[in-house]
């Protein structure tokens, strides 16, 4: 059972900035770092952000992450058509003693 | 080349067993925790299990939904990760991904292997 809550959808026009959240609790986001994954249609997930705000090599600078308290956010600046995908946050949960994923946010480029 | 290649999926009846494999290459497999993550048709990602790095004792962790039925293991001599799945249920139907550690130089996820539990 997932306990990281994300909005089901987000959208924007090309070039816009889109931001969406990942809400958790003290036992997960409040006590661990957050990673974000991008899943393009029909493909495997890809690491987008690790340790709250770090971009792996090869990830464009228009993707950025942040964390405050028990919530995290992902921002996409200069939205592009190829950014249409599902996005998931993830963190370790100390109470469950396991990893949990967010409910996922589907980004649509209008 | 850095890659993960899953295999072993297929069609199995409820109550049956299946063993998934993940062949790792291009990185120091024994140095990192590895996980299995699944995705039911049309649904989100669900963490299944993690095994810690060998230097950390190879500790294992399981989601409540699979604890007691699934077993994760690794063979560092062949760089393979395994998931033994017993007492399979219809709700275990999903694509199973071998999930790499989250590193600054990222390791691509494998393509996944489909497990279908149906009579």
User: For A5-17, how does the pLDDT look when each residue is reduced to its tens digit (9 = 90+)?
Assistant: 999 999 999 999 9
Residues of chain B found within 8 Å of residue A99, distances taken between Cβ atoms: 35, 47, 50, 61
Q: Calculate how close chain A gets to B108, using CA atoms only, in Å.
A: 7
**Contact (CB<8Å) A90/B109:** no
Q: What is the pLDDT of residues B60-69, one digit of tens each?
A: 999 999 999 9
Chain A contact present for B61, CB below 8 A: yes
Residue among B50, B104, B112 whose CB faces A44 most closely: B112
**Contact (CB<8Å) A98/B110:** no
**Contact (CB<8Å) B44/A56:** no
Give the model's pLDDT for residue A1: 45
Give the model's pLDDT for residue B96: 98
Closest CA to B113 of B48, B54, B39, B52: B39
Lowest mean pLDDT among A31-40, B77-86, B97-106: B97-106
**Contact (CB<8Å) A98/B61:** yes
Provide the pLDDT confidence category of residue B89 given band limits of 50, 70 and 90.
very high
Q: What is the pLDDT of residues B31-80, one digit of tens each?
A: 999 999 999 999 999 999 999 998 888 899 999 999 999 999 999 999 99
Closest CA to A13 of A87, A81, A85, A82: A81
Give the model's pLDDT for residue A2: 53
Provide the pLDDT confidence category of residue B102 given band limits of 50, 70 and 90.
confident
Residue pair A74/A62 in contact (Cβ under 8 Å)? The answer is no
Q: Calculate how close chain A gets to B111, using CA atoms only, in Å.
A: 6
Give the model's pLDDT for residue B118: 97
Mean of pLDDT values over B105-116:
94
Residue among B37, B50, B105 whose CB faces A57 most closely: B105
Give the model's pLDDT for residue B101: 86
Residue pair A64/A6 in contact (Cβ under 8 Å)? The answer is no
**Contact (CB<8Å) B47/A98:** yes
Strand order in the sheet with B70-75: B3-7, B18-25, B80-85, B70-75
Q: How far apart are CA A15 and CA A26, in angstroms?
A: 35
**Contact (CB<8Å) A101/B108:** no
User: pLDDT above 70 covers what percent of chain A?
Assistant: 98
């Amino acid at each position: 059972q997932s306990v990281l809550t994300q909005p089901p959808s987000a959208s924007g026009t090309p070039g816009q900035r889109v931001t969406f959240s990942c809400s958790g609790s003290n036992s997960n986001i409040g006590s661990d770092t957050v990673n974000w994954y991008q899943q393009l249609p029909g493909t495997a997930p890809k690491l987008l952000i690790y340790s709250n705000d770090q971009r792996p090599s090869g990830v464009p600078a228009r993707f950025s992450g942040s964390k405050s308290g028990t919530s995290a956010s992902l921002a996409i600046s200069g939205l592009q058509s190829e950014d249409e995908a599902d996005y998931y946050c993830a963190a370790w949960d100390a109470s469950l003693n396991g990893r949990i994923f967010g409910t996922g946010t589907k980004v649509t480029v209008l | 080349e850095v890659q993960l290649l899953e295999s072993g999926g297929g069609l199995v009846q409820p109550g049956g067993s299946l063993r998934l494999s993940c062949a790792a290459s291009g990185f120091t497999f024994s140095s990192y925790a590895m996980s299995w993550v699944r995705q039911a048709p049309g649904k989100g990602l669900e963490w299944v299990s993690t095994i810690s790095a060998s230097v950390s004792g190879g500790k294992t962790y399981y989601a409540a939904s699979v604890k007691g039925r699934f077993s994760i293991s690794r063979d560092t001599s062949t760089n393979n990760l395994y998931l033994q799945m017993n007492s399979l249920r219809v709700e275990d139907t999903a694509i199973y991904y071998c999930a790499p550690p989250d590193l600054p130089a990222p390791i691509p996820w494998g393509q996944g292997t489909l497990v279908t539990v149906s009579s």
